[in-house]
Structure 1
Amino acid sequence: MKDNQAKYPQLRFKGFTDPWEDRKFFESIASTIDFRGRTPKKLGMDWSESGYLALSALNVKNGYIDPLADAHYGDENLYKKWMSGKELKKGQVLFTTEAPMGNVAQVPDNNGYILSQRTVAFETKEDMMTNDFLAVLLKSPLVFNNLSALSSGGTAKGVSQKSLKGLSITVPFDIDEQQKIGSFFKQLDDTIALHQRKLAKLKELKQGYLQKLFPKNGSKFPQLRFAGFADAWEQRKLNQLTNSVYQGINTAADKVKYSVSGVPILQAKHITDGNLNFNGVRFLNEQSYNSYFPKYSPQKGDILFANIGTIGPSVIVDSATKFLIAWNILKLSVVSDVYAKFIQYQLVRLNGKHYFSKIVTGNATKFINKDDLLNVQFEVPLLDEQKEISKILMNIDQLIAANQRKLEKLQELKKGYLQKMFC
């Protein structure tokens, strides 16, 4: 499409048929607040334990502000000296200029915030554009791609006010259409934020159970216990809980020849969030698979543990899907009086406590020796209690997975709308 041709979005609200118009970015901007380079030290002051939250590229996310992400606060004196009469107002559009470039959120209220590093705030001209529409426009793929083209820097891309002056945008002239678009995406962002908070709470709940359902500090009794269980837990090394342990195929030493299809061979990077991710795997043909079966072919109920390069992720094989494991994964099969999922949750718990960093070795590539892992002590109750503990944690995992899927669908939905509702 040529620049002088009329432009229409693929998808729009009923009642709007006029073409969108081209403008330079700053034609629609009434004011810009940018304290680039300003720090407490340059003002002869310092951050505080509490007070006014500083908004920066660290906590301005896409569609929301994360108050827990590397938060800094300023007291009343710092706030007044820093903002110097340019206080942020509810609805103003926040835009991160670098590291990362392009996150967009809006000032949530009039409680007062400090505009900090790598973030600018925009206020639109009311008769030309709404703040809500600008917040969505800056997230649209076309505008983001244009910003990327105007940005400077190598690995860490950045955009300046000078480069923003060269940014062309296409917008509806009708403010009512802008308001409808802005309101629609605001509701969608609120729904996404709700699911993000719900997901975070479920993950916190799981961490709480992982702390309370297992003994701590050498104790033989957990803080939280199911009715009917009172026996002391037993300390056993991992080598007493397993009957076979194998490292995956050394693909380099074996000079493995991959094929375009066949049996997938998984590496440590394919263990994500307690699940097996088959995206981007490489394959071996059936003949090669047969030469490695069954030693390197996990069976249902086996535990897989990443012990080279990527350290700590683990997963239970929960299906009969045929695949092989590569050199950076350990395959563990447990003895009959042990519930595999319970041991895997123990591994998750230890990984969350950064325990494995104590037994890691190696320089360029970090790894855990198989024998060092098998020497790790585990607290273990009777089999029935292992199953009860695993059951409640699996229920939470299912809720986490369901909410993660909902969140991903909402994010994909938003991505699709951003592509179709802008031109």
Structure 2
Amino acid sequence: MKKTFAEVVLLARTGLNPRKNFKLGQGNNNYITIKNIKNNTLVIDENTDVVDDEAIKLIHKRSKIKKGDILFASIGRMGDMYIIEDDPVGWDINESVFAFTLDTNIVRQKYFYYIFRVKSTLDYLASNSSGSTFKSIKMNQLKKMTFDIPPLEKQDQIVATLDKVCNVIEMRKQELISLDDLIKARFVEMFGTLDNPAQKFEKATLKELCNKITDGKHGGCTSEEGTKRYFVGAREIYNDEVHYDTAPEINVDEFEKDYKRCNIEIGDFLIVNTGATIGKSAIASDERTEHTLLQKSVALLKVKQELLNPMFLKWCYRVNTRMYMVESASAQPNLLLSKINATEIYVPDMKLQNQFADFVHQVNKSKFIRHY
């Protein structure tokens, strides 16, 4: 049965921005923002802001959060939620976190949570959001939504099934993390870290070890479906791969004009050099590689493969995170090409590098076999 937002949500409100209201960094109460909400979990750590008791009282006059309410991230990871499990004591929310009190005679909190995991809902959030660096959605856009709400008994069945599926997925994620930890441990065993190498290796800069280091196209491209020419940016690089399902197809003439500067080939190393996912990387391996134009958020390193195995370089970045850690006065961190060029790494014998690459290949085969 179709239900409107107003029928499902009895009360919708937000927290409070400090501005002229209170100061951050004083007191022992946690000030919850979108960064603390992830996959129905409230993550409170040393990076969480704090406020004093007076601030909490002031915020609570507006938020009125209580046990059973749903917290909703309105910016960044839009749609991520947390169902408040206990009476909130010692914490409250900022204005980018929405709080919903549901009519539980109509909808279960967990069913409402899963509605916002569905692709059609995520597409609605994306298409009705605004902002450049970080997308956000306004409350009035959410209030235009309608939902398919089955009877409570059916909701309970759906939630039970989805909980089981999500548990399996989470177990799989943990298994993959363990396998990645195994690769990291093997890397450190064979090579050590840049600060503490396993033996005395020769050193060289990435400029010396690469035939070419460049970034992608500055500015946009004209979208044109059916060209099979792809414009790949930071969002397409994750889980060690380039994901083409979200990459826009672009005009062939524009592709040809800019491709020479950033001509990707199989075996090239790609690393995100701008934004929240800085440091994510992939080795070009897809057959669509030579039909790919990079956006400015991705850097291309054409390694001299007689000196450097791309897989070794990839895990050198994974283990030695300081290689891509940057300090920036702007909101958008940027790993400059000049820093990449000047980065000095150790260069083990190719036999050792290839042994490590073979080990990674075997572990990755294990990931694939267990998945299927």
> Same fold per TM (> 0.5)?
yes
Equivalent in the alignment of 2:346: 379
- C-alpha distance 189-108 of structure 1, shift in aligned 2 (>3 A): farther
Superposed displacement of residue 176, structure 1: 1.6
Higher Cα radius of gyration:
1
Cα RMSD (Å):
5.6
- Cα contact 1:307–1:368 (8 A) shared by 2: no
Equivalent in the alignment of 2:323: 354
Equivalent in the alignment of 2:337: 368
Deviations 1:269-309 (A, max 9, x none): 67655435555577989xx9xxx9xxx7846xx54356998
- Cα contact 2:231–2:292 (8 A) shared by 1: yes
Equivalent in the alignment of 2:107: 129
Aligned match of 2:13 in 17, 27, 34? 34
- Deviates further, 384-393 or 265-274: 265-274
Distance 2:109 2:183 in 1: 39
Report the number of matched residues: 342
- Cα contact 1:247–1:329 (8 A) shared by 2: yes
- C-alpha distance 47-237 of structure 1, shift in aligned 2 (>3 A): same
Deviations 1:360-412 (A, max 9, x none): xxxxx986369x83x75432344554344444555555667789x89xxxxxx
When the two structures are superposed, what TM-score results if normalisation uses the length of structure 1? Answer: 0.55
Superposed displacement of residue 356, structure 1: 8.5
Structure 1 stretches lacking a partner, 5+ long: 1-19, 223-231, 253-257, 359-364, 407-423
Distance 2:343 2:240 in 1: 21
- C-alpha distance 83-187 of structure 1, shift in aligned 2 (>3 A): farther
3-state SS of 1:237 partner: strand
Write the letter of the residue equivalent to 2:347. Answer: V
- C-alpha distance 368-99 of structure 1, shift in aligned 2 (>3 A): closer
- Cα contact 1:93–1:105 (8 A) shared by 2: yes
- Cα contact 1:304–1:330 (8 A) shared by 2: yes
Distance 1:239 1:24 in 2: 56
Aligned match of 2:201 in 229, 234, 248? 234
- Cα contact 1:265–1:284 (8 A) shared by 2: no
Write the letter of the residue equivalent to 1:335. Answer: E
Deviations 1:169-213 (A, max 9, x none): 4533x3322322333334444444454555556556656665665
Superposed displacement of residue 235, structure 1: 1.8
- Deviates further, 63-72 or 320-329: 320-329
Pairing of 1:152-163 with structure 2 (within 5 A): 156-160=135-139
Structure 2 stretches lacking a partner, 5+ long: 219-223, 328-333
2:306 corresponds to 1:335: yes
- Deviates further, 128-137 or 274-283: 274-283
- C-alpha distance 318-215 of structure 1, shift in aligned 2 (>3 A): same
Superposed displacement of residue 326, structure 1: 6.5
Distance 2:92 2:326 in 1: 37
- C-alpha distance 179-207 of structure 1, shift in aligned 2 (>3 A): same
Aligned match of 1:57 in 26, 34, 55? 34
3-state SS of 1:102 partner: coil
Superposed displacement of residue 96, structure 1: 3.1
Pairing of 1:101-116 with structure 2 (within 5 A): 101-109=78-86, 112=89, 114-116=91-93
Distance 1:128 1:324 in 2: 50
3-state SS of 1:121 partner: strand
- Cα contact 1:35–1:120 (8 A) shared by 2: yes
- Cα contact 2:237–2:280 (8 A) shared by 1: yes
Equivalent in the alignment of 2:5: 25
Write the letter of the residue equivalent to 2:16. Answer: G
Distance 2:207 2:15 in 1: 59
Deviations 1:315-369 (A, max 9, x none): 5566899847869634233337x6553344335555x3135869xxxxxx98636
Deviations 1:72-118 (A, max 9, x none): 356778657754795632x4322234555533332245574633122
Pairing of 1:4-403 with structure 2 (within 5 A): 20=1, 22-29=2-9, 32=11, 34-37=13-16, 39=18, 42=21, 46-47=25-26, 53-61=30-38, 63-67=40-44, 71-73=48-50, 82-83=59-60, 86=64, 88-89=66-67, 91-98=68-75, 101-109=78-86, 112=89, 114-117=91-94, 118-137=96-115, 156-160=135-139, 168-172=146-150, 174-196=151-173, 199=176, 214-216=191-193, 219=196, 221-222=197-198, 232-237=199-204, 245-246=211-212, 273-277=239-243, 280=248, 298=265, 302-304=267-269, 315-316=282-283, 323=290, 329-335=300-306, 339=309, 341-349=311-319, 352-354=321-323, 368=337, 373=341, 377-394=344-361
Write the letter of the residue equivalent to 1:25. Answer: F
- Cα contact 1:307–1:367 (8 A) shared by 2: no
- Cα contact 1:266–1:326 (8 A) shared by 2: yes
Write the letter of the residue equivalent to 1:233. Answer: K
- Cα contact 2:4–2:146 (8 A) shared by 1: yes
- C-alpha distance 189-76 of structure 1, shift in aligned 2 (>3 A): farther
- Cα contact 1:88–1:113 (8 A) shared by 2: no
State the identity %: 13
When the two structures are superposed, what TM-score results if normalisation uses the length of structure 2? Answer: 0.61
3-state SS of 1:184 partner: helix
